[in-house]
Amino acid sequence: MDDLNLKTENAEFGQYLRSVRQTKKISIRQLAKAVSKTPTYISDIEKGNNKPPERELLDRIIAELHLEEFPDIRNKLYDLAAKERKDVPADIKEYLMENESILKIIRTAKESPNEKQIWAKVSQII
């Protein structure tokens, strides 16, 4: 993420998207045209007047911004979009639904009085 020199410590989705887009030197019009949306729609997302886009559109935006080599930025876009939608990040949701064992692990940890220690150990393993 720092590779693009973004200053977005506590940014919301729209602010972060704008910062990424501007850093990549892509205009609102260029991005809107590339993802088949109006410039007003993209501008409203960046201003926080529209909710963050759903997975399909967000994936297209990420592709148009050429973020393949910046997984931290891509992941932050997913995370901020999910947070504002009060949802699980789209890339994680798909993975969770395909792996029942992970759902069981999360529920078990959630119900444990040692939840923080469990996640600390998991984090060390990873």
Q: How far apart are CA 62 and CA 30, in angstroms?
A: 13
Given a contact cutoff of 8 angstroms between Cβ atoms, the answer to whether 56 and 78 are in contact is no
Q: Domains of the chain by range and CATH?
A: 2-87 (1.10.260.40), 91-126 (no CATH)
pLDDT in tens, 5-40: 565 667 899 999 999 999 999 999 999 999 999 999
Given a contact cutoff of 8 angstroms between Cβ atoms, the answer to whether 14 and 52 are in contact is yes
pLDDT given at position 1: 40
Say whether pLDDT at 111 is over 80: yes
Whether the model clears a pTM of 0.85, i.e. scores above it, the answer is no
Q: How far apart are CA 31 and CA 21, in angstroms?
A: 8
